[in-house]
Amino acid sequence: MKRYRLREIADNLWFPSMFRNFMTDILEFIVVKYRIYESAIPLIKEVMEHMKTNQIIDLCSGSSGPWSQMQVQVQGQKEPVSVTLTDKYPNVRAFKKIKELSGNRIQYISEAVDAANVPLYLNGMRTIFSAFHHFEPDAARKILQDTVDSRSAIGIFEFSERRLDKIPFAFFLPLFVFIIAPFIRPRTFKRIFWVNIIPIIPCVFTCDAMISYSATYSPKDLKELVKSISSEGYEWKIGQIPSKLRTMRITYLIGFPKD
C-alpha cells in the first residue's frame, strides 16, 4: 500500500485547539454549502434499513461535518433519525450550535471518543466523513475491527483523492478560505483575525489539504485494509460515486453484518 507518512499540522498535540476548531469550521462550511456528501445519502439509508436502526454515531466529527444538512434528508417517513456527534478533540461550541439548530435531533458527546474503541453504549450506524485519511493503516484496521467486533455497521466517505490533478487546486485554497471566512456563522473576531488579518489559518489549511490528498486511501487501499482484518460474516462495499460538486468524487467504504 503506497502511503505518505506526512503528518497534518492540525493533528499535532501542540497545535492550538482554537486554530483546529477554526479549520474544522471552514471544512464544515464547505461540505454543507456545496452539498459535497449528499450523493452518499442513498448508501447510508440502505445500510440503516438493513440494520433496522435510526441511530447514527458520527466519529471524528470535527465541527459536525455534513450532518446539519443531511440529517433531515436521511430520516425515514416513520421516525426521525438521531445523529450523535463524537470526536477525539470535540468542538463542543460547534456541537452545541448544531444541536440547537436541529431541534435536538443532533446530539453530541462532550468527552473524547476514540474511533478505534467506541463505547458500547453508542449504538447505531457509524460514519466517518473527511477524516479516515488521518489514520495510518494499523489505526485504520483497528477502527474497522472495532466495528466488526461490536457487530455494528460503518460508512466511511472521503472527497479528497490521491491524484496529481488535485494538487494544483490546493494552491487556490488560501484565497478561497480568505473569501468565505466572513460568511461562516457565528462570525467571530478571532476567526476573522487569524484568517483575514494574519492569515495563519489559510496557510495551514492549504498545507494540510495537500497532505490529505497524498494520504487518502484509494479503493484499492481500502480493499487491502478489509482483507487484513477478521470480518467473517460481514459484507463490504467499496467504490466511488460523483459528488454534488461535479469536480469531486466520493470514495466510500461500507461494512455491515450480513445477518
Is residue 195 within 8 A of residue 21, CB to CB? The reply is: no
Q: What is the mean pLDDT of the chain?
A: 91
Q: What is the mean pLDDT of residues 21-32?
A: 92
114 CB-contact burial (10 Å; exposed 0-12 / middle 13-18 / buried 19+): middle
The residue with greater pLDDT, 11 or 150, is 150
What is the Cα–Cα distance from 220 to 70, expressed in whole angstroms?
A: 28
For the chain, domain boundaries: 9-257
Say if residue 215's pLDDT is above 80. Answer: yes
Say if residue 4's pLDDT is above 70. Answer: no
Is residue 94 within 8 A of residue 63, CB to CB? The reply is: yes
State CA 67 to chain mean position distance: 10
User: Per DSSP, what are the bridge partners of residue 158?
Assistant: 251
What is the Cα–Cα distance from 56 to 66, expressed in whole angstroms?
A: 13
Say if residue 165's pLDDT is above 90. Answer: no
pLDDT value at position 118?
97
Say if residue 185's pLDDT is above 90. Answer: no
CATH superfamily of 9-257: Vaccinia Virus protein VP39 (3.40.50.150)
- The angle, 0 to 180 degrees and rounded to 10, between the axes of the packed helices 67-74 and 41-51 is 50
Say if residue 3's pLDDT is above 70. Answer: no
pTM of the model: 0.93
Q: What is the mean pLDDT of residues 212-226?
A: 93
Q: For the chain, give the percent of residues with pLDDT over 70.
A: 96
